Amino acid sequence: MVLKIGSILTSTFILFACSTPITNSNSKKKDVNTVVDAKALYTLHCEACHGMDGTKGISGAANLKVSKMTDLQIKNTIKNGNDKGMMPFKDIINSETEIDSLVSFVKSLRN
* Residues binding ligand HEC (CB under 6 A): 45-46, 48-50, 59-62, 67, 69, 74, 77-78, 82, 84, 86-87, 89, 93, 102, 106
Which of 31/83 has CB closer to ligand HEC? Answer: 83
Minimum separation from the CB atom of position 44 to ligand HEC (A): 8
Minimum separation from the CB atom of position 55 to ligand HEC (A): 12
Report the alpha-carbon distance of residue 16 to residue 100 in Å, rounded.
37
Which of 32/40 has CB closer to ligand HEC? Answer: 40
Give the dihedral sign, CA 76/81/100/69: negative
Burial of 50 (0-12, 13-18, 19+ CB in 10 A): buried
Which of 1/60 has CB closer to ligand HEC? Answer: 60
- Per residue in 99-111, is it b (16+ CB within 10 Å) or e — as a string? bebbbebbeebee
